[in-house]
């Protein structure tokens, strides 16, 4: 036990000694909350309960949001069909594929993201999430993190930007740096569109489990990297976690919806700026140099094709072609653009992407693409926050570099295992 832990133990032993002399204790019957805590905070069943609840969150979001996503897709497809009838081919292409196509690709994934936030808000307001931090503290300490790292890591499921900023509440500088450096491995809501699309197409019966596995993979990799950082770069031990568990409460519908809407609004603001601009850029790259006789440049001769064929040798070992390469390059601006880019390259809407990707991907290569999307470089906005919070371009470049290498290694392992098991 290190000095800080010994000091904390001694302090509370002294407090207990003083309280014992001044306070007369009266045994009270266990409350309903006490009974629940004996189960959900148990060191043996606490973590399985936490994992089961996380699986339920994403299964709920995937299933309930499907009709809403379908309605959004139908609306923007209808708008695109109307725009495609404009006589001027350039304007028709811009409106149909760029404007309406861009909004469609972005907003079609708003429902599952919103329902994930609703489910997590319910867990937060009932009082379960602080208990989850208590449950995972022992495991996180073993991998070089502390219980306080849990909240920023959990926020990373929504967006890595506020999650990284949330580490400001951590007192220990080393704990904070390690938490920041592994936070981009948490599957933010931007990755969810990629998971939903490919899991829904190639793993229909177990789509929820596949999506959940990507989130668990991110947690596992964060734990491994935190261990390595603590052991080989920073040294020392995580500071101990001391926290008071709040009472269980019944969340109100209004508070849940207001809280979830606030988090969803972050995605909408991002969609209205970075994502939409990214969609327009990808429309330009896939249709230019413009050839009016063809209603736009053939995709094989476009700027996007040039970029894709340049990076194809890098992704080919995972069964991916140049179209995936272009999508991943676009994902550097924002991960949601991965799906939109594929739609533009194939010349179809979001629903059409689901019909076309089996021609370009196999289940094994789809798993590899999902893993790469999870791990490789953070989006542009997250890199800016990394620089701000780490206070150094050197550490920021280190995060980008290790994630690129890690993505290549993990995707290769996943693809190899999937092919070996006949998942091809």
- What confidence tens digit (pLDDT) does each residue in 137-158 have? 666 666 667 666 777 777 777 7
Model confidence over 267-297: pLDDT tens digits?
677 656 666 676 677 777 777 776 655 555 5
> What pLDDT score was predicted for residue 407?
92
Q: How confident is the model at residue 311 (pLDDT cuts 50, 70, 90)?
A: confident
- The answer to whether 218 and 370 are in contact (CB under 8 A) is no
Tell me, yes or no, whether 375 lies in a domain. Answer: yes
Interaxial angle between packed helices 46-83 and 207-229, expressed in degrees from 0 to 180 and rounded to the nearest 10: 120
Range of the structural domain that residue 81 is part of: 3-14+32-420
Structure token digits, residue 312: 């194809």
Per the listing, tokens 């327009």 go with: 280
* DSSP single-letter state for residue 230: I
For the ranges 23-27, 202-206, 373-377, the one whose mean pLDDT is highest = 373-377
> What pLDDT score was predicted for residue 401?
92
Tell me, yes or no, whether 19 lies in a domain. Answer: no
Tell me, yes or no, whether 47 lies in a domain. Answer: yes
Q: How confident is the model at residue 130 (pLDDT cuts 50, 70, 90)?
A: confident
Tell me, yes or no, whether 21 lies in a domain. Answer: no
Per the listing, tokens 């189960």 go with: 39
Nearest to 101 by CA among 344, 338, 339: 344
Cα–Cα distance for residue pair 243/163, rounded to 1 Å = 20
Q: How many domains does the chain have?
A: 1
> What pLDDT score was predicted for residue 405?
93
Interaxial angle between packed helices 380-390 and 173-182, expressed in degrees from 0 to 180 and rounded to the nearest 10: 170
Q: Average pLDDT in the 380-398 region?
A: 83
Cα–Cα distance for residue pair 55/39, rounded to 1 Å = 19
Within 10 A of 71 (CB to CB), how many other CB atoms are there? 11
- The answer to whether 251 and 122 are in contact (CB under 8 A) is yes
Tell me, yes or no, whether 267 lies in a domain. Answer: yes
Tell me, yes or no, whether 355 lies in a domain. Answer: yes
Tell me, yes or no, whether 63 lies in a domain. Answer: yes
Structure token digits, residue 128: 């379960």
Q: Average pLDDT in the 332-348 region?
A: 75
Model confidence over 106-115: pLDDT tens digits?
677 678 777 8
Tell me, yes or no, whether 49 lies in a domain. Answer: yes
* Cα 320-197-132 angle, rounded to 5 deg: 110
């Amino acid at each position: 036990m290190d000095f800080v832990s010994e000091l904390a133990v001694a302090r509370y032993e002294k407090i207990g000694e003083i309280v014992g002399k001044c306070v007369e204790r009266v045994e009270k019957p266990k409350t309903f909350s006490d009974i629940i805590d004996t189960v959900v905070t148990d060191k043996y069943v606490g973590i399985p309960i936490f994992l089961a609840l996380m699986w339920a969150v994403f299964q709920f979001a995937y299933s309930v949001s499907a009709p809403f996503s379908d309605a959004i897709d139908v609306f923007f497809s209808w708008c695109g069909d109307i725009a495609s009838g404009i006589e001027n081919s350039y304007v028709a292409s811009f409106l149909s594929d760029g404007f309406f196509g861009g909004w469609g690709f972005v907003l079609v994934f708003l429902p599952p993201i919103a329902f994930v936030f609703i489910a997590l808000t319910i867990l937060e307001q009932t009082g379960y999430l602080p208990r989850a931090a208590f449950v995972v503290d022992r495991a996180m300490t073993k991998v070089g993190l502390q219980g306080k790292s849990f909240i920023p890591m959990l926020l990373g499921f929504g967006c890595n930007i506020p999650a990284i900023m949330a580490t400001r509440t951590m007192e220990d500088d080393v704990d904070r740096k390690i938490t920041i450096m592994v936070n981009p491995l948490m599957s933010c809501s931007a990755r969810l569109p990629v998971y939903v699309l490919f899991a829904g197409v190639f793993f229909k019966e177990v789509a929820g489990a596949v999506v959940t596995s990507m989130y668990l993979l991110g947690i596992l990799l964060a734990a491994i990297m935190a261990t390595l950082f603590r052991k080989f770069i920073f040294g020392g031990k995580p500071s101990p976690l001391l926290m008071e568990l709040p009472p269980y409460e019944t969340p109100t519908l209004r508070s849940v919806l207001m809280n979830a809407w606030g988090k969803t609004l972050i995605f909408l603001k991002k969609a209205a700026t970075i994502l939409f601009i990214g969609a327009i850029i990808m429309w330009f790259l896939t249709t230019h140099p413009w050839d009016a006789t063809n209603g736009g440049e053939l995709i094989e001769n476009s700027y996007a094709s040039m970029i894709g064929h340049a990076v194809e040798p890098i992704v080919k070992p995972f069964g991916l072609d140049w179209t995936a390469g272009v999508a991943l390059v676009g994902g550097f601006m924002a991960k949601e653009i991965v799906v939109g880019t594929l739609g533009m390259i194939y010349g179809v809407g979001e629903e059409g992407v689901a019909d076309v990707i089996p021609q370009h991907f196999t289940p094994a290569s789809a798993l590899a693409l999902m893993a790469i999307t999870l791990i490789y470089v953070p989006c542009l906005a997250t890199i800016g926050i990394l620089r701000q919070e780490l206070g150094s371009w050197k550490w920021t470049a280190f995060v980008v570099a290790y994630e690129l290498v890690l993505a290549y290694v993990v995707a290769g392992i996943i693809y190899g295992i999937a092919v070996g098991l006949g998942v091809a």
